[in-house]
Amino acid sequence: MSHAPTIIDFHSHIASDMCFPKSFQDGVVDNMIVGLQSRGLPVTRDKVARMHSSTLQDPLCDELVRQMDEAGIKESVLLLPDFTYALRDSTHTIAQLIDHHKMVVDRHPGRFRVLVGVDPQWGKEGISLFERAIVDYGFDGMKLYPPCGYKLSDERLYPYYEICAEYSLPVLSHIGATSPVLDFEIAQPIYVDKAAKDFPGIDFVLAHGSVHYPDEVAMLCNNRPNIYVDVSGYEASGTAALNTLFRRGINHKILFGTDWPVFRLQGRQINLIEKLTKEGAFPEDMSDADRDLFFHKNAERLLSKNKLKSSVTSE
């Protein structure tokens, strides 16, 4: 690259057990064991569980901020998926997790945004909780996790979408596979289409879209003005798929994301960013302007629409 990029990480999480129920983590560990044993590595479940647990020891995001500084990441978007309805072994309520995210944002001024998830299966109580997080806490949008038991077109989500539309907030959703304790089929990207058509004022972001269903995701991004994709997960699948994605004519729709702390065992944030260039993620003819869109300008465009924050700024 001819210049060092400004970076916004549009996909990160607080690294803490409180955010990921034991049943969710057990499924992740099961997959790790299969992968390691298939390579002939003599691992025990206890050892793999300790390795995984070591990645979840930064509840206040102090280490994350240090790694952001080292990597040139000026801001990260913390995603708060709500597992508390689907996975009843959650140790904290969604209200408690929302409060914890507010504490982290206040602890590190200017470094974090939050997209907050509230499972639509909670009903009216969930809608009120979500609106409070947006209006009173100043969070920046919604995070959805369909494998917990709903599609992106589920009408129970529409009251949440109406709030996001009112304040011009983005909605980011997981798509594709996840911990085997949850359902995969329900998390297909096509299920966003009806919602994106019904709410043209909302920017919908499909997470992991360079890894899961990349052809379908690219089709949606090409044909729906308000559908975007983040590339988190490239660390696991290699950068060849990213190179292909950058050639699809949708660089104005692609957002950088690391999925911290999921890939901490692969290295620090700076290592994950350097991996992009070292492993040929960027086509040779990709311009600096398009790289800037990817690393920060697309994210800035989506986050700058927040009517609550723009109204405060103008007063």
- Domain assignment present for residue 44? The answer is no
- Domain assignment present for residue 134? The answer is yes
pLDDT of residue 1: 42
Instruction: Return d(Cα 84, Cα 20) in angstroms, integer.
Output: 9
pLDDT of residue 37: 86
pLDDT of residue 217: 98
- Domain assignment present for residue 31? The answer is no
Bridge partners, 73 (sequence order): 7
pLDDT of residue 43: 86
Instruction: Return d(Cα 39, Cα 56) in angstroms, integer.
Output: 25
pLDDT of residue 39: 86
Cβ-Cβ contacts under 8 Å for 80 (sequence gap 6 or more): 13, 14, 19, 97, 98, 101, 114, 115, 116, 117, 143
Q: Which residue has 């949708």 as its token pair?
A: 250
pLDDT of residue 90: 97
pTM: 0.96
- Domain assignment present for residue 26? The answer is no
Find the CATH number of the domain harbouring 200: 3.20.20.140
- Domain assignment present for residue 48? The answer is no
pLDDT of residue 310: 67
Q: How many domains does the structure of the chain reveal?
A: 1
pLDDT in tens, the chain (315 residues): 446 679 999 999 999 999 999 999 999 999 999 988 888 888 899 999 999 999 999 999 999 999 999 999 999 999 999 999 999 999 999 999 999 999 999 999 999 999 999 999 999 999 999 999 999 999 999 999 999 999 999 999 999 999 999 999 999 999 999 999 999 999 999 999 999 999 999 999 999 999 999 999 999 999 999 999 999 999 988 899 999 999 999 999 999 999 999 999 999 999 999 999 999 999 999 999 999 999 999 999 999 999 998 654 444
Measure CA 225 to chain center. Answer: 20
Domain of residue 194, residue span: 7-18+59-314
Tokens of 105: 């944002």
Measure CA 21 to chain center. Answer: 18
- Domain assignment present for residue 45? The answer is no
